């Protein structure tokens, strides 16, 4: 099955927090989307692997992604090595996305930066016919572009995606991961993202980036290479 977009996250909720609105909007425009979680988030303070699996599937349905896979790399020990590269290359060649979206090059959680390095390297090597995975390189595939989203740290974006029409759906897909966020009835330890303020911050951050780009709500993204336009009217 060929997909238009393949989005990667180090942990099961990274994609939703950072770029959920963008993906929902793209699906509504007819794009075929897949989600790939690199780890199961088993080192997280709250929830269990089983609970997080259920929450991830619920979030997938809200976003409208056709598939969601977990590559079961070790949480908190994510690194670029031959085994992990082959796992990512395998799904890139399997789904042949034109667009790949992944974590920012650095963030509060070290796994996020490691995920970015891994996915970016895999996107290049997936296009090498002599890079043999599963006994063949004949199905080599390289995405046309790689975008990187922001989660906790602020980076200078290359563009902001208008998510004004889907802000409620974006919040819904994030909060589908309910074990990870604030719940006054929970007895689990509070974390940065499980504070009452973090839930409000998601909407506020989208408002901040949207305002600067002329939208009500927006999500910031970076690109590996320069963006090209054929008219200044393409920019606003």
| pLDDT one-digit tens code per residue, 88-143 | 999 999 999 999 999 999 999 999 999 999 999 999 999 999 999 999 998 999 99
pLDDT confidence bin for 11, thresholds 50/70/90: very high
pTM attached to this predicted model? 0.95
**Any idea which residue has 């004949």 for tokens?**
138
Q: Domain residues for 187?
A: 5-234
Least trusted range by pLDDT, from 51-65, 144-158, 187-201, 217-231: 187-201
| pLDDT one-digit tens code per residue, 161-218 | 999 999 999 999 999 999 998 888 888 888 888 888 888 899 999 999 999 999 999 9
The distance in angstroms from the start CA to the end CA of the chain is 35
Q: Does the pLDDT value for residue 235 go beyond 80? A: no
Structural domains of the chain, count: 1
| CATH classification at residue 130 | 3.40.50.10320
């Amino acid at each position: 099955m060929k997909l238009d977009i393949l989005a990667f996250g180090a942990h099961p909720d990274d994609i939703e927090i950072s770029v959920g609105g963008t993906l929902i909007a793209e699906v509504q425009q007819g794009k075929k989307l897949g989600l790939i979680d690199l780890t199961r988030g088993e080192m997280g303070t709250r929830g269990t692997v089983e609970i997080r699996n259920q929450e991830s599937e619920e979030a997938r349905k809200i976003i409208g992604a056709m598939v969601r896979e977990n590559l079961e790399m070790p949480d908190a020990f994510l690194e670029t090595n031959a085994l992990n590269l082959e796992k990512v290359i395998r799904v890139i060649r399997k789904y042949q996305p034109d667009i790949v979206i992944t974590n920012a090059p650095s963030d509060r959680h070290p796994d996020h930066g490691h995920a970015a390095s891994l996915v970016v390297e895999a996107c290049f090597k997936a296009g090498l016919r002599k890079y043999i995975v599963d006994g063949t390189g004949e199905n080599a595939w390289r995405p046309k572009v790689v975008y990187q989203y922001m989660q906790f740290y602020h980076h200078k974006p290359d563009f902001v995606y208008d998510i004004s029409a889907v802000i409620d759906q974006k919040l819904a897909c994030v909060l589908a991961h309910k074990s990870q966020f604030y719940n006054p009835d929970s007895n689990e330890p509070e974390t940065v993202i499980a504070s009452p303020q973090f839930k409000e911050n998601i909407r506020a951050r989208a408002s901040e980036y949207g305002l600067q780009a002329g939208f009500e709500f927006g999500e910031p993204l970076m690109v590996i290479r320069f963006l090209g336009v054929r008219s200044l009217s393409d920019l606003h």
